[in-house]
Amino acid sequence: MAKEPQKNEEEDGGEFADFLADVSQEIAQRVESLDPRPKSEAAAEPRKTPAAGEERKKTPAAADAGLIAEWPNIVDRLIEEMR
């Protein structure tokens, strides 16, 4: 399988785009079949649109907050290790 690597300078800009396209295709193929909710339930789930004058719900905190929160802990542990 391993071939000597080739590098086409013109393709530089497209490398990430190609990667993203492949990953998107892979995920699209899998997540639908894996969704634990019954398909009918998922399909029938109504989109709630706030009525006129009704207060809109605020967007929850950033979904990646957990990722960021982990970072200081890791650094602390690493510093501890170096002592």
Residue numbers of the site for another protein (CB under 8 A)? Answer: 1-7, 12-13, 15-16, 18-20, 22-24, 26-28, 30-37, 63-64, 67, 74, 77-78, 81
CA atoms within 13 A on the CB side of 70: 3
Structure-block tokens of residue 63: 């979904």
CB of 12 to another protein, least distance (A): 7
Distance between CA 65 and CA 69 in Å, rounded?
A: 6
What tokens appear for 17 in the block? Answer: 């785009």
Beta carbon of residue 49, minimum distance to another protein (angstroms, whole number): 18
| Minimum distance, C-beta of residue 69 to another protein, in the bound complex (Å) | 13
